[in-house]
């Protein structure tokens, strides 16, 4: 799925919500050591920066050089471009060898991965015992009942342009394979339900939608999902372009440690 968000990398950086700091404290409290973390699919580094508040070193990787060009620097974060063709042993060497990583985080990205390949690598890299892998995402945003009804129609229309892997996020990771032992933050088939509150202008909502893979794919095929008519209907339901709304992103998480299965 390399390059999926390259064209809208700057919009992605501007529009996506910030994950609550409590999430990282919650994960850090469950790892036995705090030396090394790996943030996979780091994008612009949002999660990596927060992980760095709890770990001595964070290696943040992404297949997209365009996304990494917007990554925010931090003295404990090392950003590395890792193309999909990068051999597994080279990835292990990048992390300093097997059994070295205390925490692996994947923020709104694992559903794009080659899951068997990633999970095999994660099991090699995680510290045993005590290492944790955590994956999370969000699939909806609630503003009001009226706005939700309109945005739902838009999401249904955009579903025709989503890659097949997106189904995992749409289903809230309930069907995502996750072969790790639960650490009390969701388990395979039953993710932990979370919320992300945010103050947002209508323009922020538009930027968020424009940063999706479905919007980009539709545009490449000559269809603008955000026509002038659709924007006017959404804006009216929002309450106008200058109105700040308190929105809630519906999020979900799976976190686990290495098992023998």
pLDDT at 201 over 50: yes
Q: Residue 233 falls within a domain, yes or no?
A: no
Domain count across the chain? 1
The answer to whether position 238 is within a domain reads no
Residue 2 region, left (φ>0) first, then alpha (ψ -120 to 50), else beta? Answer: beta
- Region 4-28 average pLDDT: 69
pLDDT at 26 over 90: yes
pLDDT of 231: 94
Residue 114 domain-assigned (yes or no): yes
The dihedral through the CA atoms of 28, 29, 30, 32 has a sign that is positive
Work out the pLDDT band at 261, boundaries 50, 70, 90.
very low
Indicate the pTM of the whole model.
0.86
Of the CA atoms within 13 Å of residue 58, those in its CB half-sphere come to 29
CATH number of the structural domain spanning residue 94: 3.40.50.150
Residue 80, domain member (yes or no): yes
Average pLDDT over residues 185-213: 91
pLDDT, one tens digit per residue, over 165-196 is: 788 998 999 999 999 999 999 999 999 999 99
Q: What is the average per-residue pLDDT within 89-109?
A: 97
Joined tokens for residue 100: 């070295």
* DSSP string for the chain: -TTTTSTTHHHHHHHSPPPPHHHHHHHHTT-S--SEEEEET-TTSHHHHHHTTTSSEEEEEES-HHHHTTPPP-TTEEEEE--TT--HHHHHHHTTSSS-BSEEEEES-GGGS-HHHHHHHHHHHB-TTT-EEEEEEEEEEES-HHHHHHHHHHHHHHGGGS-GGGHHHHTTTTT----SEE-SS-BTTBPEEEEEEEEE-HHHHHHHHHTSHHHHHHHHTT--SS-HHHHHHHHHHHT-TT--EEEEEEEEEEEEE----
Question: Helix 145-158 to helix 228-238 angle, to the nearest 10 degrees?
Answer: 150
Cα separation, 77 vs 229, whole angstroms: 44
Give domain status of residue 225, yes or no: no
**pLDDT of the residue at 60:** 98
Residue 82 domain-assigned (yes or no): yes
For residue 241, being part of any structural domain is answered with no
Q: What is the pLDDT of residue 260?
A: 58
Question: Which range of residues forms the domain containing residue 50?
Answer: 9-139+163-196+250-257
State the pLDDT at residue 20: 95
What's the residue count for the chain? Answer: 261
Whether the per-residue pLDDT at 123 is higher than 70: the answer is yes
Question: Residue 243 falls within a domain, yes or no?
Answer: no
Residues 38-75 have pLDDT tens digits of 999 999 899 999 999 999 999 999 999 988 998 999 99
**Per-residue pLDDT tens over the stretch 230-241:** 999 999 999 999
């Amino acid at each position: 799925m390399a390059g999926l968000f390259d064209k809208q990398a700057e919009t992605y950086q501007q529009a996506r919500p910030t994950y609550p700091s409590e999430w990282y404290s919650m994960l850090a409290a469950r790892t036995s050591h705090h030396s090394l973390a790996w943030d996979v699919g780091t994008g612009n580094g949002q999660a990596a920066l927060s992980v760095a508040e709890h770990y001595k070193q964070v290696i943040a990787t992404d297949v997209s050089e365009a996304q990494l060009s917007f990554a925010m620097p931090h003295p404990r974060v090392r950003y590395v471009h890792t193309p999909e063709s990068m051999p597994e042993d080279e990835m292990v060497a990048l992390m300093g060898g097997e059994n070295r990583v205390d925490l692996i985080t994947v923020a709104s990205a694992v559903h794009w991965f080659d899951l068997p390949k990633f999970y095999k690598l994660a099991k090699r890299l995680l510290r045993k015992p005590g290492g944790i892998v955590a994956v999370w995402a969000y699939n909806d945003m609630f503003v009001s009942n009226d706005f939700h009804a309109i945005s739902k129609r838009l999401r249904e229309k955009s579903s025709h342009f989503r890659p097949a892997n997106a189904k995992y996020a749409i289903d809230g990771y309930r069907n995502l394979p996750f072969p790790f032992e639960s650490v009390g933050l969701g388990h395979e088939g039953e993710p932990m339900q979370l919320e992300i509150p945010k103050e947002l202008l209508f323009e922020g909502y538009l930027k968020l939608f424009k940063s999706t893979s479905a919007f980009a794919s539709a545009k490449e095929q000559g269809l603008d999902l955000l026509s002038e008519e659709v924007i006017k209907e959404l804006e009216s339901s929002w309450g106008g372009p200058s109105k700040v709304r308190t929105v809630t992103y519906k999020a979900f998480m799976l976190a686990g440690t290495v098992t023998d299965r």
